[in-house]
Chains A and B, each alone.
Chain A
Amino acid sequence: GVFAHLEMLEAQAHEAAVKQEETEQQEEKIARLKARVEELRVQRDELQAKVDLQEKLQLGKEGVVSNPAQASTRDVLGWKIKSLKSMLHIFYLTGISGKLTKRGVCFCISTAYEGTYMDSYHLDLLIKPQVEIHRHSVPVFIPLEQLAKKYLQTDIRRFLSVLSDHLNAYVGRRYQADQLQEHFSDQIEGTLQRNSLCNLLVFNYKVSSKSKTFLFNVRLRYGDLCCSLPTEVIVSSTSDAPTSLAELAAAHSELFRRVALHKAFCCKPGLQHPEP
Chain B
Amino acid sequence: MDETVAEYIRRTVLKIPRHEIKTVLQKWGFLSEAQLQTVNFHQTKEKVSQEVVQLCEENLADIKQAAALDIIYNHTYPNKRMWSVYQMNKTGEETDFFDLTDFKKKIKRRLRSALKNVTISFREYEDNAIWIRVAWGTPYTRPNQYKTSYVVYHSQTPYVFISVSVFKSNLPLLCQALVVASSYHDIREMELRSHSLDSLKDIVFKRYSQNFQTYYPRPLQERNVAPEIVDARIVEENKREKERIQRLNQEAFGDGPQPKLEFAQYKLETMFKSDPKMDVLNKKEPFRCLVKFSSPHLLESLRSLAPAGIADAPLSPLLTCIPQKARNYFKIREKKGLFPGSFVSP
Contacts and interface: CB of A to CB of B under 8 A. Distances in A.
Given A140-B205, A146-B93, A101 B156 contact: no
Contacts of A200: 97-99
B154 A135 contact: no
A103 B44 CA distance: 62
Interface of B: 93, 95-101, 124, 128, 154-159, 204-207, 210, 212-216, 324
Contacts of B207: 137
Contact of B156 (A99, A124, A137, A141): A141
Contact of B216 (A97, A101, A146, A191): A97
Contacts of B214: 92, 97, 99, 106, 108, 122
A88 interface: yes
Interface of B is mostly: loop
Given A141-B154, A197-B98, 9 more contacts: A92-B215, A106-B214, A122-B214, A138-B206, A140-B157, A140-B206, A141-B156, A199-B97, A202-B101
Contacts of B215: 88-89, 91-92, 97, 99
B154 A196 contact: yes
Contacts of B210: 122, 124, 135, 137
Contact-residue size bin, chain A (C-beta under 8 Å from the other chain):
20 to 34
A134 to B, nearest CB: 9
A223 B95 contact: yes
28 contacts: A88-B216, A89-B216, A92-B216, A97-B215, A97-B216, A99-B213, A106-B212, A108-B214, A120-B216, A122-B210, A135-B324, A137-B207, A139-B205, A139-B206, A140-B158, A140-B159, A140-B204, A140-B206, A141-B154, A141-B155, A141-B157, A195-B155, A195-B156, A197-B96, A197-B155, A200-B99, A202-B101, A225-B95
What are the 9 closest A-B residue pairs judged by CB atoms, nearest first? A122-B212, A141-B156, A195-B155, A195-B98, A88-B215, A196-B156, A200-B97, A196-B155, A196-B128
Interface string A97-116: 10101000010100000000
Nearest to B155: A195
A91 B96 CA distance: 33
Interface of A is mostly: mixed
A137 B100 contact: no
Contacts of B124: 191
A221 B99 CA distance: 10
Given A99-B213, A106-B213, A196 B206 contact: no
Contacts of A196: 98, 128, 154-157
Contacts of A191: 124
A14 interface: no
Nearest to B96: A197
Interface string A140-180: 11010010000000000000000000000000000000000
A137 B96 CA distance: 21
A108 B212 contact: yes
A193 interface: yes
A89 B101 CA distance: 45
A194 interface: yes
A222 to B, nearest CB: 8
Contacts of B95: 143, 199, 223, 225
Nearest to B129: A196
A223 B96 CA distance: 9
A191 B212 CA distance: 38
A108 B216 contact: yes
Contact of B128 (A136, A194, A223): A194
B106 to A, nearest CB: 15
Given A140-B158, A140-B206, A195 B212 contact: no
A91 B159 CA distance: 35
A225 to B, nearest CB: 6
Nearest to A197: B156
Nearest to A232: B97
A193 B128 CA distance: 10
Contacts of A194: 128
A223 B94 CA distance: 10
